[in-house]
A and B are shown apart, each in its own frame.
Chain A
Amino acid sequence: MSDLLAARWQMALSLGFHIVFAEIGIAMPLMMVLAEWRWRRTGDATYLELAKRWAKGTAILFAVGAVSGTVLSFELGLLWPGFMAFAGPIIGMPFSLEGFAFFTEAIFLGVYLYGWNRVGPRAHLAAGVIVAASGAASAIFVVMVNAWMNTPVGFTLDAAGALARIDPIAGMRSPAAFQQCLHMLIASYAATGLAVAGVHALMLLRGGSPAFHRRALGIALLVGAPAAVLQPLSGDISARVVAQTQPVKLAALEGQWETERGAPLRIGGWPDEATETTRWAIEIPKALSLLAFHDPDAEVRGLKTVPPADRPPVAVVHLAFQAMVGLGTAMALVSLWAGWTAWRRRDLGAQRLFLRALVLVTPFGFLATEAGWIVTEVGRQPWVVQGILRTAHAVTPMPGLVVPLVLFTLLYAGLGAIVVALVASLVRETRAQVVPPATTSPAGVPGGAA
């Protein structure tokens, strides 16, 4: 394995690991705050129990997200010093703001988790709201950096190829920024909400406390289902921005080799880089032109317009895109089912077929997120900054990068397994859930912040 490939794998692994915890860190605090708010409004102690259970899970997942995020902040320099030396002055600004958002998140999560008995009810709820809001803000700032890498603006290049006359604020508002931030935020709520709903659906199917898990299901679906329904619309905006700003990426994710008017949408299929064709795809005539440009006869640029050295790995990008769309569609359908059932005032918790469908889509959101990151990151190759800086020129000169790759792979595999086991044991504890009497006060509930 070349050093460049090892560095790319380590970065992909680190991001792929962190992103799951980041999404949970964005959406889970919202759910936990909603549960606490319901408890304070209704006095229904089951909601308090739910808020505390979710807070416990959030504590574990947030900490792993925080340390894996720290690793990333160093890895930018450990693996990509050429990128940071080049782009630091322009992308440092959103990273700095992200630093403050993360700070606020960590501070108020501490208050929330450990402050049940130490701050007033309003202050406690407010702390949770701040955690949820600053989590979303962190995501926006970080994704702004990625959007800049996809659609770099706010500078000129001097004779030596370095950045000159930079405008960091313009860099934060790059053409891809709005749609990428929107897509990522919605993905966080959809993935986490439906995953949590799936877990509680499983517990209901297995005979867990109906009172507890139905309330959990209600809040999780409230957060996850609308997001999952909206995500295809946000995806449409994304695709149109990609079509305009990164035509080669669009061609790769659609397996479009030739430049043509009225290009078809390909479902499935295998892009063959040797013959420069996409085989075995189901083609819907003119649909790609229609979707990407809202015009059935619009011209779509093909991969052949750039030399093979400037193309991303087409098969990976195309398959990841298909996977993302497929998983997202399934999530949207299950969410529509939930909405339909709720609208007809049927009891969601009693529909066993619906619960089974929810269990099935539990991991879909996270898988779709990983696929989406493969689309945007691998789809930008061979560039780290689109059209400006090649990934191969950004990598560290240190040899032997396969060693840290193996090390961090083992670390993250171990951590991942432990987190899954811990969360599973937290979930199992709820099976023996005895719902406390309805008048329990905030103080004195055991196991609260612990």
Chain B
Amino acid sequence: MSTLATLGMPEIVAGIMMIALTVYALLGGADFGGGVWDLLVRGPRREEARALVANAIGPIWEANHVWLIVVIVILFTAFPPTYALLGTLLHVPLSLMLLGIVLRGSAFVFRSYGARDDAAQRRWGRIFAVASTITPVLLGVNVGAIVSGAVGEAATRLPRAGSGVGAPAASFADLFLRPWLAPFPFAVGALTLALFAFLAAVYLTVAARDAVLREDFRRRALGAALAVFVTAFGALLLARAQAPHVSAGLLGTGWALPFQLATGGAAVIAIWGLWTRRWRTARVAAAAQTSLILWGWALVQFPFLVPTVHEIRGVAAPRVTLRLLLWGLAGGSLVLLPSLAYLFRTFAAARDVPSEVTSH
């Protein structure tokens, strides 16, 4: 593997950033997925399902959210030109995503801790649910715009910073709208939404103590698995036309086949686990499936952070910064990982205790 031999500090830092993004998807993503189910659930046990979602994410969503901050901080410390480029060209969808993040978090605490009257509760619940649904789509749109190469293409037409010379024939729409306002990024957005909803439903089958509620979420998880399949297939079809190097990378390269097989295998195990009510197996497999999809994306665009203009090595900060960052990440992890383990153990072991959190 000649590529592996060339791995240096920039690639290691990029790998850690990707790990943080994966954990964000697995934890923070599932919290958004919980909000999606808050929106979608129907039927007689609707309020019970919503209470289950609220109890499951209540103690942990803020910690899970911080993984996104970790990704951003690594990006702007280790790869400042890429952070600047993405902030510039994806200003619009990133700002919209931020609105979603703010509304989701605020509405959730307003509902949990705020006024007790039903009308206000319903209003916050609705805002929480809608924001939880829109935000993952926008997250996916941003990722899709990067991976498709459209952001990189627009970057070549951006006026040089400081020189004040505008590149010819690059309109506002060319630079700031077209890279993301296209079918492929939205297909990735739909896939992200389906994945997060799938993860949440699978996790909730483990979290639910009530057998009927658990069956409800089993059914929802199976439905979401189908949605993941359909949206992934749709994204791949669109990639052939709009992001050719993506489909080439996913289908044509040497590592592609084993990777595809592993992803597909995880999906099959997740569905089998749900089907046969092996909840914990399904949870592990669903997490593995999501991680493999994310790492498939990472491998497709390696060694680029932004295909095809920002190579990891080319945009990395000086070695001294990377070395300090790695030390900081190592030291931080020594505090962080035991703390996280403590948080999850505290609230996973005690789910049998009726929660004192009254969300409705």
Are A85 and B81 in contact, CB atoms less than 8 angstroms apart? yes
**What's the minimum C-beta distance from A220 to chain B, rounded to whole angstroms?**
20
Are B66 and A99 in contact, CB atoms less than 8 angstroms apart? yes
Across the interface, which residues of A come within 8 angstroms of B59, CB to CB? Answer: 110-111, 113-115
The CA-CA distance from A119 to B342 in the complex, in Å, is: 10
Contact with A along B59-77 (1 / 0, CB 8 A): 1101101101110111011
B299 at the interface (CB under 8 A from A): no
The residue of chain A having its C-beta at the shortest distance from the C-beta of B62 within the complex is: A106
Interface centre among B83, B98, B101, B175 (most CB of A within 10 A): B98
Across the interface, which residues of A come within 8 angstroms of B336, CB to CB? Answer: 100, 103-104, 107
The CA-CA distance from A193 to B69 in the complex, in Å, is: 29
Contact (A76, B87) CB under 8 Å given A93-B77, A95-B73, A106-B65: yes
The CA-CA distance from A100 to B335 in the complex, in Å, is: 8
Are B113 and A397 in contact, CB atoms less than 8 angstroms apart? no
The residue of chain B having its C-beta at the shortest distance from the C-beta of A92 within the complex is: B77
Are B91 and A97 in contact, CB atoms less than 8 angstroms apart? no
Contact (A92, B113) CB under 8 Å given A82-B84, A106-B63, A449-B357: no
Across the interface, which residues of B come within 8 angstroms of A448, CB to CB? Answer: 356
**What's the minimum C-beta distance from A79 to chain B, rounded to whole angstroms?**
8
The residue of chain A having its C-beta at the shortest distance from the C-beta of B114 within the complex is: A422
Number of interface residues of B (CB under 8 A): 70
What number of A-B contacts does a CB cutoff of 8 Å give?
Answer: 228
Partner of A116, one of B343, B356, B358: B356
Are B62 and A109 in contact, CB atoms less than 8 angstroms apart? yes
**What's the minimum C-beta distance from B149 to chain A, rounded to whole angstroms?**
20
Are B347 and A81 in contact, CB atoms less than 8 angstroms apart? no
Interface centre among A102, A114, A425, A448 (most CB of B within 10 A): A114
Partner of A96, one of B77, B80, B95, B339: B77
Binds A, one of B31-39, B157-165, B301-309: B157-165
**What's the minimum C-beta distance from A404 to chain B, rounded to whole angstroms?**
5
A90 at the interface (CB under 8 A from B): yes
Are B317 and A88 in contact, CB atoms less than 8 angstroms apart? yes
Interface centre among A62, A92, A98, A411 (most CB of B within 10 A): A92
A residues 103-147 in Cβ contact with B at 8 Å: 103-104, 106-111, 113-119
**What's the minimum C-beta distance from B221 to chain A, rounded to whole angstroms?**
25
The CA-CA distance from A404 to B93 in the complex, in Å, is: 11
B residues 90-145 in Cβ contact with A at 8 Å: 91, 94-95, 98-99, 101-103, 105-106, 108-110, 112-115
**What's the minimum C-beta distance from B349 to chain A, rounded to whole angstroms?**
8
Which of under 10, 10 to 19, 20 to 34, or 35 or more describes the interface residues of A? 35 or more
Q: Would you call the interface of chain B mostly helix, strand, loop, or mixed?
A: helix
The CA-CA distance from A74 to B69 in the complex, in Å, is: 9
Partner of A397, one of B95, B158, B342: B158
A78 at the interface (CB under 8 A from B): yes
Contact (A67, B87) CB under 8 Å given A106-B66, A117-B356: no
Are A407 and B95 in contact, CB atoms less than 8 angstroms apart? yes
The residue of chain A having its C-beta at the shortest distance from the C-beta of B159 within the complex is: A397
Contact (A411, B102) CB under 8 Å given A106-B66, A397-B161: yes
A436 at the interface (CB under 8 A from B): no
Across the interface, which residues of B come within 8 angstroms of A76, CB to CB? Answer: 76, 87
Across the interface, which residues of A come within 8 angstroms of B73, CB to CB? Answer: 73, 92, 95-96, 98-99
Contact with B along A282-323 (1 / 0, CB 8 A): 000000000000000000000000000000000000000000
Interface centre among B63, B94, B357 (most CB of A within 10 A): B63
Partner of A169, one of B112, B175, B324, B329: B324
Across the interface, which residues of B come within 8 angstroms of A79, CB to CB? Answer: 87
The CA-CA distance from A161 to B318 in the complex, in Å, is: 16
Across the interface, which residues of B come within 8 angstroms of A398, CB to CB? Answer: 88, 91, 175-176
Across the interface, which residues of A come within 8 angstroms of B284, CB to CB? Answer: none
B58 at the interface (CB under 8 A from A): yes
Partner of A168, one of B68, B321, B350: B321
Q: 26 A-B pairs, CB-CB below 8 angstroms?
A: A67-B106, A71-B98, A73-B69, A76-B87, A77-B94, A81-B83, A88-B317, A92-B73, A92-B321, A92-B325, A93-B321, A95-B73, A96-B325, A96-B332, A103-B63, A106-B66, A107-B343, A110-B347, A119-B346, A168-B320, A397-B158, A397-B161, A418-B106, A422-B115, A447-B356, A448-B356
Interface, chain A (partner B; CB < 8 A): 56, 59-60, 62-64, 66-71, 73-74, 76-79, 81-82, 84-90, 92-93, 95-100, 102-104, 106-111, 113-119, 166-169, 393, 396-400, 404, 407, 411, 415, 418, 422, 425, 446-450
Interface, chain B (partner A; CB < 8 A): 58-60, 62-63, 65-66, 68-70, 72-74, 76-78, 80-81, 83-88, 91, 94-95, 98-99, 101-103, 105-106, 108-110, 112-115, 158-159, 161-162, 172, 175-176, 317-318, 320-321, 324-325, 328-329, 332, 335-336, 339-340, 342-343, 346-347, 350, 353, 356-358
Q: Beyond A81-B85, A167-B320, list 20 extra A-B contacts (CB 8 Å).
A: A67-B101, A67-B106, A70-B98, A70-B101, A76-B87, A77-B87, A78-B87, A78-B91, A84-B83, A89-B321, A92-B78, A93-B325, A96-B332, A97-B332, A103-B63, A111-B59, A114-B59, A168-B324, A411-B102, A411-B103
